[in-house]
A and B are shown apart, each in its own frame.
Chain A
Amino acid sequence: MLPKGVMLGTCVRVARLVLPPLEDRLLKPQLSLAASTTLVLVQSAPLMNKLGKIPAESVKYVMIERLHVSDFFKDLNPITGAESSVPAVNCEPSCAYSKKVVMITFMNNSDSEEEPCNERTSLMSAESPPTPSYQDGLQASAAGEAQAHRKRRAGSSRGPNNIAGGEMSGSSVPVRESTLENEEEELTLKYGAKHVIMLFVPVTLCMIVVVATIKSVRFYTEKNGQLIYTPFSEDTPSVGQRLLNSVLNTIVMISVIIVMTIFLVLLYKYRCYKFIHGWLILSSLMLLFLFTYIYLGEVLKTYNVAMDYPTLFIVIWNFGAVGMICIHWKGPLQLQQAYLIMISALMALVFIKYLPEWSAWVILGAISIYDLMAVLCPKGPLRMLVETAQERNEPIFPALIYSSAMMWTVGMAKPDTAARGPSQQTWDAAEDGREHLRSPSHAESQMSETRSPVPTHPITSLEELEEEERGVKLGLGDFIFYSVLVGKAAATASGDWNTTLACFVAILIGLCLTLLLLAVFKKALPALPISITFGLIFYFSTDNLVRPFMDTLASHQLRSAMEQLSQHFTYIMFNFLFRIVDKTGKLLTEAGAYQSIQTSTEKLWLRAPRSL
């Protein structure tokens, strides 16, 4: 059997050539040929979708069964529920649908696809759904963003398709690849902003929670020991020793992370899904119950609120149970997002508490470098993970990914869509809610970078597809490290809020830039490096440079000594001010006068010829 990629490529090329004549055949979905043409057409339909000039008939084709590529090649699944009744004008389902197929198609395209028969192959070949491991999460964020970009394109194409829906020409359009790529880029850029905002909000929320806690609850700024991952203490007399200890701590931490990631990759490679699943559940249990208990206890202590144990038990039990369900199974998207933000914040708080200061900064720097390498180097564990998952045609690690999936309810013509709608929604949320908890328990176990094995159930129904997330995905590890940076800035900076604010802005801008780069490169990119670099730069510079400046300025406002110089200055300024106002007024009147002069001269000129 030929490699799938080549087959797909061939199919696409065939599709392009035979597109017009197949229109009528596709109306009656049949096995084998129909399946092949369907798949093919589905693959190329998005291209036409992008063009916005989809022949009305081909829209239906898009609606036809989403075939999992592997299914297609294994055994042609009967096309269930071919949507011949889909109104041609309603382009949205097709777009959404086609995107999914495209995504699946491209997920299955191996990197050895040498024929970029459609430009999209090359665009997405390196992409992968986000990976859940610790650094996978980091790359997962990148991959998630990549996927998000795919989805973004998918989603973004809905826009112009909505517009184009009305102007669908009857002629089948030959696929113009360059136009397509342009359109894709445009769509990406256009609608990328929405997705950037969709990521800004959760990141901001997480940071706000962390900063608020740090500022109010003393517990998280007290030093009460260290994690076992940072065995070297920083209470050393000399600066050099302290630096050395922090570097050693970093080395230990990073090596732990590397070992964990490789372990996870091996587990995934040898299909020990149950182990991974169990690991994941265990770590999320611990996070949701133990850490929440500690957090709640500390908050109550800070605000001197009394709470009895039964109430506490009930509250925490409910919180944790609902969290487990939402995260690992099904739940409303907003709730799931909220839970993910909360556990990221909790984990970040743990880090902030238990990482000694200098180690924290060095670790942040080292993590971003590691992320960069692990995602971009060909032999990096994350990349291997991605490729493995691609080979198996499994969506990689929906676990531990924050998904801001916008459930664009596609207007399906199917009668029972409405009934299945909600279940689909939750299914989708569950699918991308499977997360890898990287929960370094400071008590016992390791970084549980688990990948929840996504059961590769072939999705045969249409609705499940339409509910596929169109949003952006960011790994939870990124949330955690962003929050660690901002929280550390809030906790340890003497410049207080200025530093925190500066770090916050820096991180957001870094995130923006990363998403932009993702749109440009269309490859899986790590989300950490740029943001963390900016954050670190801004932290150190604001703390050491800006703070004295601002403080001196502020204190200067208070100084009661009035010097002759400043009086003189004031006088000069007043003069200047009057002159400026005067000049402005003159300019305005002149402009107005000039216009009137102009109009009057025009009138004169118009009148002149007649008199002549």
Chain B
Amino acid sequence: AFFWLVSLLLSSLIWFIAVKASDPQDERLQKGLLIFGVMFSVLLQEAFRFLYYKLLRKAIEGLVALSEDGCSPISIQQMAYVAGVGFGLMSGAFSMINLLADALGPGTVGIHGDSQLYFLTSAFMTMVLIFLHTFWGILFFHGCEHRRWWEIAAVVIMHLTVSGLSFCNPLYVGSLVPSYLLMAAAAAWAYLLSGGSAQNLRRFLLCKCCSRK
């Protein structure tokens, strides 16, 4: 979460500088700058995810070196999951919390002609983003572990995609539906990477007893 926050900070710094240095009247430019800011922010987030991965690797090495039986008490997959959750939670909190605070007060959504589904779609978007961050965390770390650069690239591209899609708003279907599809894909991928399989899933869902051979 902290790392995500730092990345957000840096990216907003860049954006702020860019905005201040540009003409505030030109709307297209502003929007362009915003898009640029978002893309940059995405790239920075992924960069920070990578940095976090490096940090965790060092930590795991330290733990392994110090542990009694030579294996660390927490595996890299767990750390990946936690990192993803942290990123997701922070981004979700930042996205939603102001909305929620405002939602507590009186008022009507969309009374000025804006979409009435704003709160709802924000909520869904945040949810999908949180999930995606979690899955991306797993995928990313797995890619870093096994030196599969295409996995990392896929994560980055997916992130860019989703963020870019959010610019479709208020055509909400344009951003939500693909994001959910992406999330499903990422979920399946992460699940498979974490050692699950269709068989496991079936057993779990049908509550079959695993010991039965």
CB-defined contacts of B182 to chain A, threshold 8 Å: 577, 580
Task: Give the distance to chain B from A453, nearest Cβ to Cβ, in Å.
Answer: 40
Task: Give the distance to chain A from B35, nearest Cβ to Cβ, in Å.
Answer: 9
B192 within 8 A of A: yes
Of the stretches B45-53, B91-99, B129-137, B203-211, the one at the interface is B91-99
Distance between Cα atoms of A506 and B1 in the complex (Å)? 10
Distance between Cα atoms of A370 and B168 in the complex (Å)? 51
A456 within 8 A of B: no
B56 within 8 A of A: no
B66, A185: Cβ atoms closer than 8 Å: yes
Residue of A nearest to B167 (CB): A566
CB-defined contacts of A569 to chain B, threshold 8 Å: 164, 167-168
CB-defined contacts of A552 to chain B, threshold 8 Å: 30, 34
Distance between Cα atoms of A496 and B98 in the complex (Å)? 7
Residue of B nearest to A498 (CB): B94
A1 within 8 A of B: no
A190 within 8 A of B: yes
A557, B181: Cβ atoms closer than 8 Å: no
Of the stretches A8-16, A307-315, A319-327, A538-546, the one at the interface is A538-546
B34, A556: Cβ atoms closer than 8 Å: yes
A501, B13: Cβ atoms closer than 8 Å: no
Distance between Cα atoms of A163 and B94 in the complex (Å)? 44
- Interface size range of chain A in the complex: 35 or more
Task: Give the distance to chain B from A26, nearest Cβ to Cβ, in Å.
Answer: 28
CB-defined contacts of B189 to chain A, threshold 8 Å: 584
Distance between Cα atoms of A574 and B114 in the complex (Å)? 25
CB-defined contacts of B192 to chain A, threshold 8 Å: 588
A549 within 8 A of B: yes
Write the B162-175 contact mask toward A (1 if CB under 8 angstroms, else 0).
00111111110010
A548, B98: Cβ atoms closer than 8 Å: no
Q: Residue among A549, A560, A574 with the most chain B CB within 10 A?
A: A549
B9, A542: Cβ atoms closer than 8 Å: yes
B12, A573: Cβ atoms closer than 8 Å: no
Cβ 8 A contact of B169, one of A495, A498, A557, A574: A557
A497, B168: Cβ atoms closer than 8 Å: no
Distance between Cα atoms of A577 and B184 in the complex (Å)? 12
A461 within 8 A of B: no
B161, A577: Cβ atoms closer than 8 Å: yes
B2, A506: Cβ atoms closer than 8 Å: yes
A545, B34: Cβ atoms closer than 8 Å: no
Residue of A nearest to B178 (CB): A577
A581 within 8 A of B: yes
A160, B68: Cβ atoms closer than 8 Å: yes
Distance between Cα atoms of A294 and B182 in the complex (Å)? 54
B158, A545: Cβ atoms closer than 8 Å: no
Distance between Cα atoms of A552 and B22 in the complex (Å)? 15
Main SS class of interface, A = helix
Distance between Cα atoms of A327 and B114 in the complex (Å)? 56
B156 within 8 A of A: no
Task: Give the distance to chain B from A240, nearest Cβ to Cβ, in Å.
Answer: 23
A580, B185: Cβ atoms closer than 8 Å: yes
A186 within 8 A of B: yes
Distance between Cα atoms of A182 and B62 in the complex (Å)? 11
Cβ 8 A contact of A558, one of B63, B118, B154: B118
B16, A545: Cβ atoms closer than 8 Å: yes
A594 within 8 A of B: no
B73, A546: Cβ atoms closer than 8 Å: no
A492-548 contacts to B, CB under 8 A, are 495-498, 501-502, 505-506, 509, 538, 541-542, 544-546, 548
CB-defined contacts of A495 to chain B, threshold 8 Å: 98
Write the A168-188 contact mask toward B (1 if CB under 8 angstroms, else 0).
000000000000001001100
* Contacts A557-B169, A558-B115; A541 near B13 (Cβ below 8 A): yes
B178, A558: Cβ atoms closer than 8 Å: no
B16, A548: Cβ atoms closer than 8 Å: yes
A239 within 8 A of B: no
B37 within 8 A of A: yes
A186, B169: Cβ atoms closer than 8 Å: no
CB-defined contacts of B170 to chain A, threshold 8 Å: 557-560, 562
CB-defined contacts of A182 to chain B, threshold 8 Å: 66
B101 within 8 A of A: yes
Write the A556-589 contact mask toward B (1 if CB under 8 angstroms, else 0).
1111101100100110011011001100100010
A554 within 8 A of B: yes
B2, A505: Cβ atoms closer than 8 Å: yes
Distance between Cα atoms of A576 and B30 in the complex (Å)? 26
Residue of A nearest to B173 (CB): A570
B5 within 8 A of A: yes
Write the B48-82 contact mask toward A (1 if CB under 8 angstroms, else 0).
00000000000000110011100001000000000
Residue of A nearest to B189 (CB): A584
Task: Give the distance to chain B from A534, nearest Cβ to Cβ, in Å.
Answer: 9
Residue of A nearest to B171 (CB): A562
Distance between Cα atoms of A182 and B66 in the complex (Å)? 7
Write the B92-125 contact mask toward A (1 if CB under 8 angstroms, else 0).
0111011101000000000001110010011000
Residue of B nearest to A513 (CB): B2
CB-defined contacts of B15 to chain A, threshold 8 Å: 545, 549
CB-defined contacts of B118 to chain A, threshold 8 Å: 557-558
CB-defined contacts of A306 to chain B, threshold 8 Å: none
A550 within 8 A of B: yes
B1-43 contacts to A, CB under 8 A, are 1-2, 5, 8-9, 11-13, 15-16, 19, 30-31, 34, 37-38
A581, B185: Cβ atoms closer than 8 Å: yes
B90 within 8 A of A: yes
B157 within 8 A of A: yes
Residue of A nearest to B19 (CB): A548
A502, B161: Cβ atoms closer than 8 Å: no
* Contacts A186-B66, A553-B38, A570-B174; A545 near B9 (Cβ below 8 A): yes
B34, A496: Cβ atoms closer than 8 Å: no
Task: Give the distance to chain A from B175, nearest Cβ to Cβ, in Å.
Answer: 8
Task: Give the distance to chain A from B111, nearest Cβ to Cβ, in Å.
Answer: 12
Distance between Cα atoms of A573 and B8 in the complex (Å)? 24
A299 within 8 A of B: no
A373 within 8 A of B: no
Name 6 A/B residue pairs within 8 A (Cβ), A-sorted: A189-B62, A189-B63, A497-B101, A501-B97, A545-B15, A557-B169
Interface positions of A (Cβ within 8 A of B): 160, 163, 182, 185-186, 189-190, 495-498, 501-502, 505-506, 509, 538, 541-542, 544-546, 548-550, 552-554, 556-560, 562-563, 566, 569-570, 573-574, 576-577, 580-581, 584, 588
* Beyond A498-B94, A542-B9, A545-B15, 17 extra complex contacts between A and B, CB < 8 Å: A163-B68, A189-B62, A496-B98, A549-B11, A549-B12, A549-B37, A557-B118, A557-B122, A558-B170, A560-B115, A562-B170, A570-B174, A573-B165, A574-B178, A577-B161, A580-B157, A584-B185
